[in-house]
Amino acid sequence: MSGGVDSSVTAHLLKEQGFDIFGVLMDLWRPSGQNNQFSKFQTAKIDAQKVADEIGIPLEILDFKDVFKEKVVENFISTYQSGQTPNPCVICNKKIKFGLLLDYALAKGADYLATGHYTIINKTENIFSLHKGNDPLKDQSYFLSQLNQTQLSKIFFPLGTYSKDQIRKIAKSIGLHVAEKAESQDICFIDDNNYRGFLKQYSKHVIPPGNIVNLKRDVLGKHNGLFNYTIGQRRGLGVSYSEPLYVIDINLGRNELVVGTQLERNRSELIAEQVNFIDGVFPEKLVDIETKVRYSAKATLADLTKIGDDKYHVHFHSAIKDITPGQSVVFYTGNQLLGGGTIH
């Protein structure tokens, strides 16, 4: 339970179905120097406890700050330092929510862990599969591509068949005080989505200024540290040119920010590492697979060829823009999530 409407209605629905449930709130992060009285966690704690009281269930608070810092925050920082753009939500789902938290729940005697993700789990002949949620605006399957059969056998996603509007209506109908609570769109441990400020505050390694170059390595200007930029970025480059320029590569070895035109943003292939398939089967080749390289991106057809134990070459049928190392590439067939990996 996060103190938001989704997890709150999840708890209500399960109790209505007759499950014996208890809520857990994870204490994951406290910004340095922040007054705990006004922290995000303190607000979540107040709301989650009030919802638990309204529904009539116990609430436990789990201190996972040290593990979260080690597994998620430090990975976030080191990935940026390596010139890539991380996806901390995917790491958190794999190692914290459906790793550490799931283990805790099972050790406490629970049969299942339920969360408010808008995703659907199906089971056919003892094989679990993940599918997009019915609400296309809220589907969160992209962030769950690293889950496995063992985890899915112990997880419930009760909201997968609902829309967000329906969930708010349920919350309002039963008098939950969080029915109209705004949902956070930011990375949970970064205030106001200011990741540059976060990196400056917490990173021990400072990347110095360097050159902004084009594909011919002509120097067009100066950057103020590579972690301040991400693939596809257009604003804030400080470079004058005859047409709009975008970040198309981050060369850590040369400390160069590579920019290009709209056409030069396009790529037709990538290498995916740390690939996971939900069913546990790693095929040698897959063709005509719907593939997403960002949560908000449209799926593009691609062919996958296995080139290592958990490494695949992904060739797109048509070129796409802003393939970003460090981000997740995720594979679908129809509404079913096959799996995914990290863009190299």
pLDDT of residue 285: 98
Are 144 and 63 contained in the same domain? yes
Final residue of a structural domain among 246, 261, 276: 261
Are 256 and 321 contained in the same domain? no
Residue 103 in any domain: the answer is yes
Q: Which residue has the higher pLDDT, 30 or 344?
A: 344
The answer for residues whose C-beta is within 8 angstroms of residue 235's C-beta and 6 or more apart is: none
Tell how strand 256-260 and strand 210-213 pair up.
Answer: parallel
In this prediction, residues 83-104 reach a mean pLDDT of 97
In this prediction, residues 137-166 reach a mean pLDDT of 97
Q: Which two tokens stand for residue 121?
A: 């789990």
Residue 199 in any domain: the answer is no
Q: How far is it, in rounded angstroms, from Cα 244 to Cα 260?
A: 8
Residue 123 in any domain: the answer is yes
pLDDT bracket for residue 310 (50, 70, 90): very high
Residue 328 in any domain: the answer is yes
Half-sphere exposure of 275 (CA within 13 A, CB side): 29
Flag whether pLDDT at 37 surpasses 70. Answer: no
Domain range for 20: 5-193
Are 119 and 134 contained in the same domain? yes
Picking from 299, 292, 212, the residue whose alpha carbon sits closest to that of residue 249 is 212
Segment among 172-176, 180-184, 338-342 with least mean pLDDT: 180-184
Give the whole-number percent of the chain exceeding pLDDT 70.
98
pLDDT of residue 38: 56
pLDDT bracket for residue 259 (50, 70, 90): very high
Compute the mean pLDDT over every residue in the chain, rounded to the nearest whole number: 95
Residue 200 in any domain: the answer is no
pLDDT 10s digits, 180-236: 999 877 789 998 888 888 998 998 887 799 999 999 999 999 999 998 899 999 999
Are 16 and 154 contained in the same domain? yes
Q: H or E segment at 68?
A: helix 65-68
pLDDT 10s digits, 7-23: 999 999 999 999 999 99
Q: How far is CA 176 from CA 5, 138, 170, in A?
A: 8, 21, 9
Q: How far is it, in rounded angstroms, from Cα 42 to Cα 34?
A: 11
Based on the structure, what is the number of domains in the chain?
3
pLDDT bracket for residue 242 (50, 70, 90): very high
pLDDT bracket for residue 265 (50, 70, 90): very high
pLDDT of residue 31: 82
pLDDT bracket for residue 69 (50, 70, 90): very high
In this prediction, residues 305-311 reach a mean pLDDT of 97
Identity of the residue numbered 32: S
Sign of the C-alpha dihedral, residues 150, 153, 159, 161? Answer: positive
Residue at token pair 């693939």: 231
Are 136 and 256 contained in the same domain? no
pLDDT of residue 39: 77
The answer for residues whose C-beta is within 8 angstroms of residue 93's C-beta and 6 or more apart is: 143, 144, 146, 147
Are 180 and 244 contained in the same domain? no
180 with 167: CB under 8 angstroms? no
pLDDT 10s digits, 113-132: 999 999 999 999 999 999 99
For the chain, how big is the Rg over CA atoms in Å?
Answer: 22
Distance of CA 200 to the CA centre of its chain: 22
Q: How far is it, in rounded angstroms, from Cα 226 to Cα 212?
A: 10
3-state helix, strand, coil split of the chain in percent (to 5) is: 30, 30, 40
| Catalytic annotation, residues | 92, 188
Residue 201 in any domain: the answer is no
pLDDT of residue 73: 96
Final residue of a structural domain among 239, 261, 283: 261
pLDDT of residue 33: 61
pLDDT of residue 245: 97
pTM strictly above 0.85: yes
Are 239 and 274 contained in the same domain? no
